[in-house]
Chains A and B, each alone.
Chain A
Amino acid sequence: MRSRTIGELLAPAAPFDKKCGRENWTVAFAPDGSYFAWSQGHRTVKLVPWSQCLKNFLLHGTKNITNSSSLRLSRQNSDGGQKNKPREHIIDCGDIVWSLAFGSSVPEKQSRCVNIEWHRFRFGQDQLLLATGLNNGRIKIWDVYTGKLLLNLVDHTEVVRDLTFAPDGSLILVSASRDKTLRVWDLKDDGNMMKVLRGHQNWVYSCAFSPDSSMLCSVGASKAVFLWNMDKYTMIRKLEGHHHDVVACDFSPDGALLATASYDTRVYIWDPHTGAILMEFGHLFPPPTPIFAGGANDRWVRSVSFSHDGLHVASLADDKMVRFWRIDEDYPVQVAPLSNGLCCAFSTDGSVLAAGTHDGSVYFWATPRQVPSLQHLCRMSIRRVMPTQEVQELPVPSKVLEFLSYRV
C-alpha cells in the first residue's frame, strides 16, 4: 500500500538568499521523455536530462533517505566531446516562476493514434521548447537544447498560473492567468496571440488540452470548470459540481475522462462529452457538507494527474499525502507521505510520479503498474477516436455500452 520512493531532487541551499522565497508550483516532463524541469525557487528553472537523473537514482539507491547528499543530483555532467548529448541547464527567468510547460514540434504519442492532420515544420531539427509563466504576467519561451531565450510573450496583466501546449505538435500554447483570461499563442508564428478566452469571473488556476487537441479544459476560483472547443474557440459547457476553487485538471489518455481537483477536498472524474460526474475521490471522511467544503480546511487537493495507462490517477492534498487511485475503486491503492506538496506529474512513460514541494524540492515515486485488461485496452483504443455520443449509437449490448462509457 505504501509507494516505493525512487529518488529526490533537493533544492539548492546556501549561498542563495532565503528571502527570495522558494517556489515550486510546477514540475514537467518533456513529451519525448528526454528532460525533466522544475522551478527550484529563486526565479530559476532547472532542466535535467531525465535518463541521467534516473541513472543517478538507481546508482545511489533509495534506502538512505536521511542521507540526502547521496541522492542529490550532482553536477558531474556530460563530457565536452559529445555535442548532441542532452545537457543540464539552469535558467534564470528574472521573476518568480508559476508555471512550466514543454512543447514539441513532434506530436505526442497519444496524438498520433488519432486521425488528425498535422503539419510538421522542421527548423533544422525537431524543436523542443520550454515555456515559463511568470509573476508579472510575462511568458518566456526557451530552447531546451541550448537553454537560450527564444520569445518573450507580453499580454497578461497578472500571474500566469498555468501553461499547456497542444499535444499535436502544432506548438500552440495556452496560458491561464489570474487576470481571469486564457490566451492562445501560435509559437510557429513568432508567438502571435491568436485569441483571448473570456468567461472566468475570477482567477484561472489551470488548463489542459484533450489528447486529440480538440478541447481545452480550464478551471478556476469560484468553482469554475469550463470546456472550450479549440477549433472555434467557443465555450462548450460549464461543468458544475465542485463547492470551492478548482485548481487542477487533467484528461485521460483517451480523452474520455476529465479529472479535476478542488479545495472542496474532492477529485471528480467527469465525462467531458456529456458533463456527467462519473466518479468521486474524497480526501476527507465523512465527506464535508457543502458549507464546510466551501471554506478553509486542511484537505485541500492541490494537484491531480492521470497516468498513461488510463486506469490510475494521482492526487496531492494538504493532508501531507500523495494518493494513487484506480478509476474502478473507491479507495486509494497506494499512498505516500509528502509535506507541502504543490504539484505532481507522471513521467512520459508513466513509470514515475514526480511531486514538487513548497521548498523547491522534488520527490519521485514508482507508480503502481500492472498489465491492463484487454477490455480496457480496447476501450481506450475506441474512445481515442469516439466521443460518448457516438458510443451511445453503437449496436452493442448495453453492458458493453456502459463499459465503453466508463459507467461501470
Chain B
Amino acid sequence: GHPWCRGCGGEALIYVKLISSDGHEFIVKREHVLTSETIKTMLSGPGHFAENKTNEVNFREIPSHVLSKVCMYFTYKIQYTNSSKEIPEFPIAPEIPLELLMAVNFLDC
C-alpha cells in the first residue's frame, strides 16, 4: 500500500500524486486537484487512463516550477471559495505566466 493514503482498495484515497516532467512529485489532496477539470476527468475515467488505478498523474510536458504553482493555486482556490474572508492577490512571478497559462489551459482551471 501507499504510506501516504488512508487505505487502498475500495476506500476513497485522500491524496493523489502529481509528477512533473523533470521528475518532481507533488502530493496533493484529491479534493484540491479536482479543481482542474482535466485531472478530474483523468482520475474518474472508467479505466481509460493508467493513472486511475494508481492515483498518480504524470505530466510529461509540465515542469516542476509550473506544476508547483498550480498546486499552490489549488490550495488558494479551496481556501477562498465560499468563504467570507477577503480574497488576497495570488502572486505570479513575471517570468512564468505564459508557460503557466499553457499548462493551465490544458488543465482547465
Question: Measuring CB to CB, which residues of chain A are less than 8 angstroms from any residue of chain B?
Answer: 349, 351, 369-371, 373-375, 377-379, 381-382, 385, 394, 396, 399-400, 403-404
In Å, the complex CA distance between A25 and B108 comes to: 43
Decide: A381 near B102, CB < 8 A? Known: A351-B86, A371-B81, A375-B109: no
B contact residues around A399 at 8 Å (CB): 105
Cβ–Cβ contact B105 & A375, under 8 A: yes
A contact residues around B104 at 8 Å (CB): 373-375, 378
In Å, the complex CA distance between A403 and B102 comes to: 11
Interface centre among A377, A382, A399 (most CB of B within 10 A): A377
**CB < 8 Å: which of A369, A371, A374, A382 contacts B98?**
A382
Closest to B100 in A: A378
Closest chain-A Cβ to B74's Cβ sits at a distance in Å of: 9
Decide: A371 near B70, CB < 8 A? Known: A378-B100, A378-B104: no
What are 30 sample pairs from A and B whose C-beta atoms fall under 8 A apart? A349-B86, A371-B77, A373-B109, A374-B70, A374-B77, A374-B90, A374-B104, A375-B101, A375-B104, A375-B105, A375-B108, A377-B73, A377-B90, A377-B92, A378-B98, A378-B100, A378-B101, A378-B104, A379-B101, A381-B92, A382-B98, A382-B101, A385-B94, A394-B98, A396-B98, A396-B101, A399-B105, A400-B101, A400-B102, A404-B101
B contact residues around A375 at 8 Å (CB): 101, 104-105, 108-109
Interface SS, A side = helix
Complex interface bits, B62-81 against A, C-beta within 8 A gives 1, otherwise 0: 00000000100100110011
Closest chain-A Cβ to B93's Cβ sits at a distance in Å of: 9
Interface centre among A374, A375, A382 (most CB of B within 10 A): A374
B contact residues around A404 at 8 Å (CB): 101
Cβ–Cβ contact B105 & A381, under 8 A: no
- Is residue B50 contacting chain A, with contact meaning CB distance below 8 A? no
- Is residue B97 contacting chain A, with contact meaning CB distance below 8 A? yes
Category for how many chain B residues contact A: 20 to 34
Cβ–Cβ contact B73 & A374, under 8 A: yes
Q: Total contacts A to B, CB within 8 angstroms?
A: 50
Cβ–Cβ contact B109 & A378, under 8 A: no
7 A-B pairs with least C-beta separation:
A378-B101, A381-B97, A381-B92, A378-B97, A374-B73, A374-B104, A382-B97
- Is residue B5 contacting chain A, with contact meaning CB distance below 8 A? no
Interface centre among A378, A381, A403, A404 (most CB of B within 10 A): A378
Closest chain-B Cβ to A179's Cβ sits at a distance in Å of: 40
Closest to A373 in B: B109
Decide: A403 near B80, CB < 8 A? Known: A378-B100, A396-B98: no
A contact residues around B102 at 8 Å (CB): 396, 400
In Å, the complex CA distance between A382 and B92 comes to: 10
In Å, the complex CA distance between A373 and B77 comes to: 9
- Is residue B27 contacting chain A, with contact meaning CB distance below 8 A? no
- Is residue B87 contacting chain A, with contact meaning CB distance below 8 A? yes
Closest chain-A Cβ to B39's Cβ sits at a distance in Å of: 13
A contact residues around B92 at 8 Å (CB): 377-378, 381
